[in-house]
């Protein structure tokens, strides 16, 4: 799908990967609806995209709330006429040791990183079907959804769920709706920066560097553009760049 003239809804769009993707799609002619809880930053970034000649609109959205997600989609339709591209990118990391009796933060990781994605995909598919079919849905997973993460097992569980949700919905391509997942390695986002310089240096040593949000945005753009991709899992790593995970269970494109 050529994003020029299309409408994209992007979550987690006030910073990091979501912001980089909003800017890239807007520069390629898409109208972008940026959704996030960070209202001040989101409005500022949308205004800057508009000032640079792009089309953008910000909607304050809590992805944990179905009504908020529906409102964001309704706003996109009201302002731009339809939704062609949905990028479910909002997510959080894992805090503390989930095995400790007093740690209940792990539930929020599941709520945001997989349950909210499921809800968003349901609403997006329903909308795309009501428009007559056709569209692209991309979900941010992680290399942690493909490999064990002993330090963040609940995050890994959630992201593995995103991978398999996306793969399992590959059949929607028969309706013209393509669902894919993107799995970045460590990326210099506010989430990673919050871990501190020592942790970032350790990440760099582990994988040979660190990705920039713009690297992931390029992968999203490729998934939007490539109509042959449905139910596929794109990896984004420092060593291999953009490639696809060849997972068991279905014939790869």
pLDDT band at 253 (very low <50, low <70, confident <90, very high): very low
pLDDT computed for residue 95 by the predictor:
80
Please, what are the domains in the chain?
A: 7-241 (3.40.50.720)
pLDDT tens, 1-26? 999 999 999 999 999 999 999 999 99
Q: Are 137 and 177 in contact (CB under 8 A)?
A: yes
Nearest-CA neighbor of 34 among 50, 17, 13?
A: 13
Active site residues: 155
Which residue do the tokens 């020029």 mark? 4
Give the residues across from 179 on adjacent strands. 137
> Does residue 252 register a pLDDT over 50?
no
Angle, CA of 211, 214 and 216, to the nearest 5°: 70
pLDDT tens, 93-128? 888 899 998 888 899 999 999 999 999 999 999 999
Q: How far, in Å, CA of 233 to CA of 221, rounded?
A: 14
* First-to-final CA distance of the chain: 17
Q: How far, in Å, CA of 197 to CA of 190, rounded?
A: 12
pLDDT tens, 117-174? 999 999 999 999 999 989 999 999 999 999 999 989 999 999 999 999 999 999 999 9
């Amino acid at each position: 799908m050529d994003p020029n003239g299309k409408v994209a809804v992007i979550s987690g769009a006030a910073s990091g990967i979501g912001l980089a993707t909003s800017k890239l799609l807007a520069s390629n002619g898409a109208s972008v609806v940026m959704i996030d809880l960070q209202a001040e930053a989101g409005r500022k970034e949308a205004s800057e995209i508009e000032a640079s000649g792009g089309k953008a609109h910000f909607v304050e959205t809590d992805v944990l709330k179905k009504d908020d997600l529906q409102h964001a989609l309704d706003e996109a339709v009201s302002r731009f006429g339809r939704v062609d591209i949905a990028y479910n990118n909002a997510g959080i990391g894992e805090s503390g040791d989930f095995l400790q009796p007093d740690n209940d933060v792990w539930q929020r990781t599941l709520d945001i990183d997989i349950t909210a994605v499921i809800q968003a995909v349901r609403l997006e598919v329903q909308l795309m079907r009501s428009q007559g079919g056709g569209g692209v849905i991309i979900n941010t997973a992680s290399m942690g959804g493909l490999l064990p993460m002993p330090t963040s097992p609940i995050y890994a569980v959630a992201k593995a769920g995103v991978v398999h949700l996306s793969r399992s919905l590959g059949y929607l391509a028969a309706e013209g709706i393509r669902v894919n997942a993107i799995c970045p390695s460590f990326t210099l986002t506010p989430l990673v920066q919050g871990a501190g310089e020592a942790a970032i240096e350790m990440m760099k040593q582990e994988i040979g560097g660190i990705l920039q949000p713009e690297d992931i945005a390029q992968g999203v753009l490729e998934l939007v553009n490539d109509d042959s991709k449905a139910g596929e899992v794109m990896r984004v790593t420092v060593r291999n760049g953009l490639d696809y995970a060849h997972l068991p269970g279905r014939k790869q494109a």
